[in-house]
Every structure is written in C-alpha cells, then in structure tokens.
Structure 1
Amino acid sequence: MCKGGHPISAEEYSAPKQGGLATFDTEAILDLYAGGGTITLNQAHQCNEQLAAFCAELAGVFCAPVAANVYITPPNSQGFAAHADTHDVILLQSEGRKKWKLQKELEFLATPRSPNVCTDPMATATWDEFVLEAGDALYIPRGLLHEGTAESSHSLHITMGIYPYTWADMAHEALAMAESTDALLRRSVISASPTTVDDAHELLARLSPHMKALASREPRVPRHQASLRRGRFRALVEPPPMSLATAVRISNRANTQLERRSNEVVLSCEAKSIAFPLYVYPSLEILLHGDVITGQDLAANLDDEGRLTLLRRLLSEGVIELGVKDGPTL
C-alpha cells in the first residue's frame, strides 16, 4: 500500500506471523484505504485467470515477460509519487477516473541499471495533464516520468508491465557465456599496461561468436510467461482417453522449436527441452507445423501404439492439448 507518494509500512496492515507465514489484517487495510491509501496487488496475473491469459498473449506478441499489477485508489488520493519505470507499461483504466501527469523522458530507453526517480525539483514545469476514464488505455514508455491522482470517485487501473530483452542484456549474457569457457576473460586487468588495449580488442573479438549465437536465437518467452497450460494437472492425475481419432494441437506453437541432432531430436518449449529418438522427428514436425490433427495424421514410420505413446507423452509434458478437429461440411 502507499499514500500521498509514500509507501505504507507493511507492519501497519499485516497480522502477526502464524507458522512463519505473514498474513494480512483486512480491517487495517480497509481503514488505510478509507484514509486515502492505495491498495496495490502486485503480480495479479498469478491469481486471476483472465489477467494470466492476457499476459500470456502479450508475452507472445512482444517476446518478453509481462506482469500485471492492480491499483485501487480512493477518491481524491494519490498512490505513488512521480516516477519512471525501467520497463514499458500499458495502463488500462478499469473503473473510475484518474488524472495523469506525464513529463519529459527521464532517460531514453531506461533499464534497471538506469536512475528511475525524479531528482529535478523544477521538472514539474513540463507536465502534460489529462484524465483517463474507464475503458481508456495509455502506453507509458520506459523512462517516462508519470504520476496519477484519482478524481471524485475511486479509481482502479491495471498496469501491464513489459520487460524487454535489450542489447545490453544480450551483451551481459554473452559475457557470462564466454567467461565460463574462456580463461583469458578471467585474467586480471593490469591498468595502463602496454598490452591492455590489444588484449581488450582480442577479448571483444572472442565475444563476437557468442553475440551472433544469441542474436540468431529464436525469440523465447520465459517459461513462467508461456501460454497457459489449462488442465495439465488433470491430464497427469487422470489421463484422458487417447485414441488415434483424438484431436490434438500444439499448446504454444510460437514458442516451440524442433532441433534435429545426430542421434536424437529435441523439442524445446519455453524453458523446457525434451529429447526423443530420431525416428520421431517426422511426426513432431507434422505436429509443429499442423493445426489440429489426430494420431492418424502422424508419420507412417510409427505404428499405432507408437503414435499413441508419443501423444500421451506430449500431453503429459503440456506440449499438446486436446483440440477439436473439423468434420465434413454437410
């Protein structure tokens, strides 16, 4: 919770720990809200199916993690002070009206390693002001200073935070990859040494293959932001009847990749990789490039039992889901 631009200590609305777990004091939260405090529900997509589905859809579009936060502000009150985020935000005004003030960019394309607070006391002279009503949306690029105040009624808005993968992130990742395999990168740097500049050029050249490998990698959405796997637990504890006529489809084709190796084929879905015998490759390729299919559509080099075994494995792994195959048109 926060009020008037300042966070409210969790001690004011949390109950004594029970069994090592913190609990919320509902009455205290409501009292603080009545006194002008904003209720913040961070990571709301983790407990709301509709928000989870929307985050998953946006994550697929932007090839980046997406998180949803919910903010409930009482009338004529302000939650956070003016600030700039280091991730992009799509703001959805769901209930009420909120007056927003946007200022010049604090830092172009800000990142978590950039400052994200207002330090210029004269900055308020350049605000743009407008009101969002229920149903309105606002895009706030990372680095743009902003603040909001509820008007005469309560306000509920949702922020969809989009966390991009930047060139700097790629450089950090490439450096970590190179450090683990290249002893030269682990040597001490001797400042002002005659060879230091030459060594630096050599190290940059050694990073190049890692950067190229990362740049050519297919965009992958982190596992926790992948499309929802509805019913996977049910499929594990009570596997549905599976026959060669059962219609199935890839759960998230955009983030599923197939790699053929010398002695196996690897199916990668977000952060999961599953190895199969090489002879399964033709059937996996049919699954990956098809829409809704049945076991009868799989490659002919698998017998009926082999096709069913493959489909059951993929279903238990959450790679495929049951679909509906179109029948003949009458």
Structure 2
Amino acid sequence: MHLRDFDADKFLSEYWQKKPLLIRSPWASWSNPVEPDELAGLACEAGVESRLITQSAPEWGLENGPLPEDRFDRLGKDPWTLLVQSVDHHIPCVAALLESFRFVPNWRIDDVMVSYAVDGGGVGAHFDHYDVFLVQGLGRRRWELGELCDENVELLPHSNLSLLADFQPTDEWILEAGDILYVPPRIAHRGTAIGDGCMTYSIGFRAPSCAELIDNWADDLADGLLDQDRYTDPGLAKQDNPGEIDPDAIAQLHSMITEKILDRSSFARWFGRYNTSPKNPDIDWRPETSAEVDDIRRSLAEGAVILRNPASRFSFIRETPSSVLLFVDGQSFECTGAQAELAERICAEPRLILGSDKSRSALDLPTLSLIADLFNQGSVALDL
C-alpha cells in the first residue's frame, strides 16, 4: 500500500513538526492489515508489549500484558481499549505500512502500535514527544486536537497514565477506514471510538532527548577509557589559598572531557549502533542453523530474495563516496565497493532482488560475507 497523490516534499516543508494534517483516504485501495482476534492473540503472548485501558467514569484502569486468554471475555460494558506495541515486528502486512512513510529517514521510525477499542473507548487526552501518523484501520474514531503542551501542563493523578487534567479541543475530525491524521510533537489530542470494532495504527517516530543521548553516550565513552588517563599537574605552583580551584585546573579538567565528547567520528559510530539497537533485545531472531558463505552463494544463485526482518533496524553513514558504515541491530559493518552498494540498497528496500544471474554471480566474497553475517544474526532471511 502506498500513498496516492501525496506530496511528501510539501508535507515536510509545511506540516512536519509544525501543524496537524488530515489526509482523507490516500490509498489506491485500503485493506485493514490485521484482524482484531489476531491482535488480541498477540496481546496474550510473552515478549509482546501490550496494555489494556478500561474506563469506568471517572476512573481509568491500566493492565499490562501479557493478558490472560480469557481476559476479553470478562470485560464489562464500560469502554475499553487494547494497545499492542511493535505489531510491525510480528505481522508483515503491518510492517508494509511503514513503506508509505519512508520519506522520513529510517533512523527516526520507531514502530507501529495498533489499538482496538469498543464504542467510547480511547486512552484519554494526552500529548506525545514524537510525531505520529494515525491511520484508521477499521470503524470510525473521533479525534480532537488542542493546544501545544509542555512539561508544566497539569496531569490527572494517575501513576501510569499521563492524561491531561484540562483538555480544551480546538479542532475535531471523524476518521473513517483508510484516513490518516498527522499529529506533531506536544500537540494535545484525544481519540474516541465511534461504535465497536475501531482499529487505529499509530506510526510513531523516535525523538531522542538530550538527556538520553548524554547518558548513553557518556556510558559508552567511559567503557572505552583507560584508568591511567588521569589529571596531571607537573607544573603545580604554590597557591595563596589552598582552597581555590584555579582557572588553569578547571580548563585542563574541562579539556579532558570535551576532547572525548567532541570526537564527532566516535559519536557517529556510537549513535549508529545505539539507534539501531533492537527495540526488544529479549527476542532472539537468529536462525536455528547458521549459514556459511557458500550457503549464501548457492541460495542466491538459485534466485533467493533477501528479506529484511521487520523487527530489525537498518541505517548507514556515508564515510567516503565509495564507503559506508552500515548499522544493523546494534552492530556496525565497514563496507566498501560492491559491499557498500548492497548496504545502501538493503537500507532502502525491504525486499532485495539481486536481478540477473550475472549480477548474482558478480557478488564478491566481502559482500557474501556481509549477507551471511546479517543472516546469522537474524536481521535478514533468504526466500526462494
């Protein structure tokens, strides 16, 4: 599924992180990617992040998954909503939704959360720190949007739900199946199901905070520093007051830190690994049987297609015109020549068809080794 008559350049210049946009049924044909029963089944599985939100005015309830299989049979008549994170990691048809939004770089895409709600169900008025495309899958939902929020906004007294205490909507739309609503960061919004069988696909984007970057980058830096790399002052002179930390000492101490932090190349390599780290590291996607280079060569010669694992994250940084650093699931690979060409393609194409017999036979050993490494860590599969 791809967006029809959608001007991505205009959207990025006029709407992205600036103002909301309602996009009425931009698909050539819309087909809901996952059935409600299948979503409920995922919510019962260990290793899948899910939440059940119930409303019994004026109280809100929250249950974290995995949910018991009979939980949905015991729900009463009060409104409720089921939320399941990273459904794109488990259902290829949901992962395919992301291809319509690749005008945003891969490293910014987080996951696809899917919600199912009965009549009146929702998660309450709230705001997010990231951009989101809300794709209506089934049924109808009323979306109300309000003002821009910040950390000083008043919230309801609930320990696990950050709901706005005073929500004043300024815009309202009713979305039908196939409609999309884009909501920029920190815009207050509230979605309410109109009728039963309401499904919404929330395509969220990553937005690392400065605190998050400093915390994780500093941890990585510290792990690689030597204990003997310490402050020295062989030219120490007697001070008038021993209690003073003099400007020269401060300058040297500050320099010790900044020369490490300002290493742009090291930061880029760290960020590539950090940003592509698996969302759920507890899930092992590695194949039962590892593959050697000859196995990869033979499969490709037979016409195998390289498939990206929907749960894997792929990005690259260009180092020179003919070399890139490829980052996949927290691992980095230095790629040059044909290997770099394949690395760029595999970041852009979820299904990589190498083409003619000649192009497949031209794959050199480093390129085949790269494919084998990605296969053995569960980041790609080969489909004949």
Does structure 2 retain, via aligned residues, the 8 Å contact 1:89–1:140? yes
2:125 to 82, 91, 102: 82
Query: Equivalent of 1:139, from 153, 166, 182?
Result: 182
Q: Contact 2:135/2:181 (CA < 8 Å) preserved in 1? A: yes
Q: Could you tell me how far apart the structure 1 residues matched to 2:216 and 2:317 are?
A: 21
TM-superposition CA deviations, 1:243-286 (whole Å, max 9, x none): 784456765696367999xxxx99753423569xxxx9666356
TM-align CA RMSD: 5.1
Q: Does 1:284 align with 2:359?
A: no
- Asked if the contact 2:272–2:327 (Cα under 8 Å) also holds between the matched residues in 1, the reply is no
Deviates further, 249-258 or 175-184 = 249-258
CA contact (8 A) 1:243 1:295 kept: no
Q: Which residue is 1:327 aligned to? A: none
- Other structure's SS at 1:35 match: coil
Cα–Cα, structure 1 residues 61 and 282, in superposed 2: closer, same or farther, change >3 Å?
closer
How many residue pairs get aligned? The number is 284
1:24-173 to 2 correspondences below 5 Å: 24-26=68-70, 28-32=71-75, 34-55=77-98, 61-75=105-119, 77-107=120-150, 117=162, 121=165, 123-125=166-168, 127-173=170-216
Task: Please report how far the alpha carbon of residue 87 of structure 1 lies from its aligned counterpart in structure 2 after TM superposition.
Answer: 2.8
Match for residue 276 of structure 2 among 204, 208, 222? 222
**Alignment pair present for 1:209 and 2:262:** yes
Paired AA for residue 298 in structure 2: M
Distance (whole Å) between structure 2 residues aligned to residue 323 and residue 193 of structure 1: 65
Partners of 1:309 and 1:125 in 2: CA distance = 57
Partner of 2:54: 3
Cα distance between partner residues in 2 of 1:95 and 1:85:
23
Relative distance call for 1:73 and 1:214 in structure 2 (3 A) is same
Change (3 A) 1:217 1:284: same
- Give 1:296's match in structure 2, choosing from 358, 361, 364: 361
- Whole-Å Cα distance in 2 between the matches of residues 248 and 258 of structure 1? 28
Contact 1:92 1:136 in 2 (8 A): yes
Is the 2:53–2:63 Cα contact (8 Å) retained in structure 1?
Answer: no
Q: Are the structure 2 counterparts of residues 46 and 272 from structure 1 closer, same or farther at C-alpha, using a change threshold of 3 Å?
A: same
Letter in 2 for 1:145: A
Q: Higher helix share goes to which structure?
A: 1
Letter in 1 for 2:315: N
CA contact (8 A) 1:2 1:37 kept: yes
Write the distance in 1 (CA, Å) between the matches of 2:163 and 2:124: 9
Instruction: Give the whole-Å Cα distance in 2 for the aligned partners of 1:204 and 1:215.
Output: 17
State the SS of the aligned residue for 2:200.
strand
Q: Identity of paired residues, percent?
A: 19
CA distance in 2, matches of 1:158, 1:186: 52
Consecutive unaligned residues of structure 1, counting only runs of 5 or more, are 15-21, 111-115, 300-305, 325-330
Q: Cα deviations across residues 82-119 of structure 1 (Å, max 9, x unaligned)?
A: 111233221111112211111111129x9xxxxx9456
Aligned residues of 1:174 and 1:211 also touching (Cα < 8 A): no
Do 2:108 and 2:205's aligned partners in 1 also have CA atoms closer than 8 Å? yes
- Aligned partners of 1:78 and 1:149 also within 8 Å: yes
- Matched residues in 1 for 2:196 and 2:327: separation? 49
Does residue 242 of the first structure (1) align with residue 301 of the second (2)? no
Q: Distance in 2 between matches of 1:162 and 1:206?
A: 32
The one-letter amino acid of 1:72's match is Y
- Partner of 1:255 in structure 2? 315
Q: Does the 8 A contact of 1:247 with 1:322 survive in 2?
A: no
CA distance in 1, matches of 2:210, 2:306: 31
Does the 8 Å contact 1:97/1:132 carry over to 2? Answer: yes
Unaligned stretches of 5+ residues in structure 2: 1-51, 154-160, 232-242, 346-352
What TM-score comes out, normalization by structure 2 length? 0.55
